[in-house]
Amino acid sequence: MLQLNNVSHSYDKGKTWAVRDLSLNAKQGEIFGFLGPNGAGKTTTLRMIVGLLPPTSGNILVTDIDVWKNPTAAKKVISFLPDNPNVYERLTGWEYIRFMADIYGVSQEEREQRAERLLTQFEMLHAAPDLISSYSHGMRQKIALTAALIHDPKIIILDEPMVGLDPRSAAILKQLLREHCDRGATVFFSTHILDVAERLCDRVGIINKGYLIAQGTLEELRQGQRTDATLEALFLELTQA
Ligand SMILES: Nc1ncnc2c1ncn2[C@@H]1O[C@H](COP(=O)(O)OP(=O)(O)O)[C@@H](O)[C@H]1O
Ligand SMILES: [Mg+2]
């Protein structure tokens, strides 16, 4: 569903590598957690997947579409929530959602239905007519999420989605991502919050200094380690200098 083949990126023409020779795949119906310390290369990887930053080498496939050879087709099936979503302040919540629905060609009926369901789940229905400039950080994130899910994407990419959400909204988001996967979508998200990953993800990949150093289910990662090792213990062991 989402496949990276030997993907690398250098911001300085090959002097240093933000991401190096990274290969991984996330399957249909799966929640994949992309873990790593600050500066590991998570955001760089996500920006390459969604078509914002060209890989220096390697290729990326979403539902068998090459993201960099066929960018428009790829973008139709992907949805991206950046780590700091830049939502248009001068629009109301509803206007922003309709704007995104227009871009993705979502029908009137589908958009109203989906938006109302998502806004209700996020407890944002009352605030949707207000200007985004009046929203708190968490409210902006929830509107950005609603807009990101408005075209019912097959692949949902999120950069540190739990940061800035209150515990209740984070719980709602987790439930929503699980629902999308159960309906056949693939969720790929970065996080440095390990207990979120531990409870939510079907599989995880751990990136450190640009290299993918582990990939698999928690069970698989535990092999060779203490059988009761927490993800945190594994993470610390794998990412130590
Ligand atoms: N726009 C940029 N220009 C130059 N270097 C960058 C840029 N963005 C990120 N980097 C570097 O690339 C590496 C990976 O960063 P990033 O992908 O943001 O990591 P993460 O999201 O895991 O914290 C870091 O060393 C960072 O300093
Ligand atoms: Mg980042």
Cα–ligand 1 centroid distance for 218 (angstroms): 27
Q: What is the pLDDT along the chain (241 residues), one digit of tens a residue?
A: 999 999 999 999 999 999 999 999 999 999 999 999 999 999 999 999 999 999 999 999 999 999 999 999 999 999 999 988 888 999 999 999 999 999 999 999 999 999 999 999 999 999 999 999 999 988 999 999 999 999 999 999 999 998 888 888 889 999 999 999 999 999 999 998 888 888 889 999 999 999 999 999 888 887 766 667 788 888 888 888 6
- Whole-number Cα distances in Å, 8 to 23, 46, 57: 9, 12, 5
Tell me the residues surrounding ligand 2 (ion) with CB < 5 Å. 42-43
Ligand 1 lining (C-beta closer than 6 Å): 11, 18, 36, 38-44
What's the CA angle centered on 237, arms 233 and 238, to 5 degrees? 115
CB 207 within 8 A of CB 239: no
Mutate-to-test residue for ligand 1 from 44, 160, 190, 206, highest number of ligand atoms within 8 A of CB = 44
Say what the pTM is. 0.93
Domains, the chain, ordered by start: 2-217 (3.40.50.300)
